[in-house]
Structure 1
């Protein structure tokens, strides 16, 4: 059974779901676009059975209590700062960090900026940012896959397209890999005033300043072969950007929505990763 938390930070109050004993191993799980913390619900239940204390927040823009209007307030340093502030409020000196999609990008940058705070890193779908940047420049396939990011930076136009016909464009993103009930919950949340713009502001905040380096935290990277956003070039190059213990897991015939499509398989490799470190 999940707990519902309100986590106060200097930026505002984050909503979160949590499961597992208070004294269990602390694991923070970060969702991506256009989802919310409930994307991790199935994984949370499985972690709880293993005695893990798992917390999944609705991130900046997704939590009504932390929804600034300006895109500039969604820069990567702000998002990383949120992770650290949430961990501080939870009383977690060191913790395991898991992220999917945009949440994985934030997790990579958190590991780069605050390696001392992380026991392990797990990134799902999104490769190391430097590997992705290189693939975007040199691999035509990845360049084509990433074009949506540029399109979504257009203010107002993107909101109109995504919300038209009861958010049909967002429904189609999930390609029948996520249950209709879960998708309906995401759309209900994105229908709140300012919520869709806040979620898109992650794309509009601009590229991070400075180059992200090699990660010196034990890392698990999970990539799925049917991911429409991230191709194999960046996925396979990611190991060259981790200087600590590294594990790569490839899920065959699984879409981008890994944590909702195959929560059992994902939780199994995550628990093995945690157990090894």
Structure 2
């Protein structure tokens, strides 16, 4: 059973879920949009049972204690800084990093910039950011898949997503996310300022200009064939941007919501990856 905790940092206090002994191998899990740490409930249970110390924070904007108002406060440099601040709080010199969706983007950027701190990387759904940026520019399929970003960046996004009982927000999660998680996420995001903070990740993003460079740490990338947002072009090109040990796994007939829809498959791959890279 995951435990609730709070993590004080210079940016504010993060809410988080933890599992496993604090002296165990540290694993940090970063959720995506529009979710929260609870998306990793199944992974936390398995990691805790494997004697890891697994920590899943509600990230910047999702934790009420770290919800700045300026779009610029959601730049990638700030998000990576949060990862390092959380690691500092626990006294982790090195840690394993797992990220899904936007959490995967932050995980890629952190691993590229701080390979001395990241023991292993597990990216779920999200390809290497340089591969993604190239696909946005040159692949019509990915450009069409990412057209929703323009809507999320617009000044009317909050009104659109929350209209009629948050119908369009709820639609994002289907199929793949359990109903009880959907209810939890929608409740969180209808709190004052919460959805704006989450959308500010998109408004601050600069995929077209901010290269992160190659990743040198041992990397597992898990992509699913029914992901409507992230196509195969960037997924297959990700290998070109990893210079360390690399494993690519494709989950057939699984949507974007891998941690919740296919927890057994992801948990197996994650544990295999951690076991293979213990130094």
Q: What's the TM-score once normalised by structure 1's chain length?
A: 0.98
- 2:161 corresponds to: 162
- 2:39 corresponds to: 39
CA deviations over 1:131-160 (Å, ceiling 9, x no partner): 0111111111111001111221112x1000
- 2:14 alignment partner, SS class: strand
- 1:6 alignment partner, SS class: strand
Please say if residues 175 and 255 of structure 2, whose CA atoms lie closer than 8 Å, have aligned partners that are also in contact.
no
**d(CA) in 2 for partners of 1:40, 1:61:** 18
Structure 1 consecutive aligned stretches of length 4 or more whose deviation exceeds 6 Å:
none
| Count of residue correspondences | 276
In the TM superposition, what are the counterparts of 1:1-277 in structure 2 within 5 Å? Answer: 1-155=1-155, 157-207=156-206, 210-277=210-277
**d(CA) in 2 for partners of 1:263, 1:104:** 16
**d(CA) in 1 for partners of 2:222, 2:237:** 13
Task: Quote how far apart the aligned CAs of 1:22 are.
Answer: 1.1
- 2:153 alignment partner, SS class: coil
**d(CA) in 2 for partners of 1:166, 1:247:** 42
**d(CA) in 2 for partners of 1:3, 1:179:** 20
Task: Quote how far apart the aligned CAs of 1:176 are.
Answer: 3.0
In structure 2, do the counterparts of structure 1 residues 210 and 143 end up closer, same or farther at CA, with 3 Å as the change threshold? closer
**d(CA) in 2 for partners of 1:49, 1:239:** 31
In structure 1, list runs of 5 or more residues that go unmatched: none
Residues 161-170 or 79-88, more deviating:
161-170
**d(CA) in 1 for partners of 2:109, 2:178:** 31
**d(CA) in 2 for partners of 1:108, 1:172:** 28
Residues 255-264 or 206-215, more deviating:
206-215
**d(CA) in 2 for partners of 1:77, 1:226:** 30
**d(CA) in 2 for partners of 1:90, 1:114:** 17
Task: Quote how far apart the aligned CAs of 1:181 are.
Answer: 1.0
**d(CA) in 1 for partners of 2:165, 2:260:** 22
**d(CA) in 2 for partners of 1:152, 1:235:** 23
Task: Quote how far apart the aligned CAs of 1:210 are.
Answer: 4.0
RMSD: 0.9
- 1:116 alignment partner, SS class: coil
Task: Quote how far apart the aligned CAs of 1:206 are.
Answer: 3.7
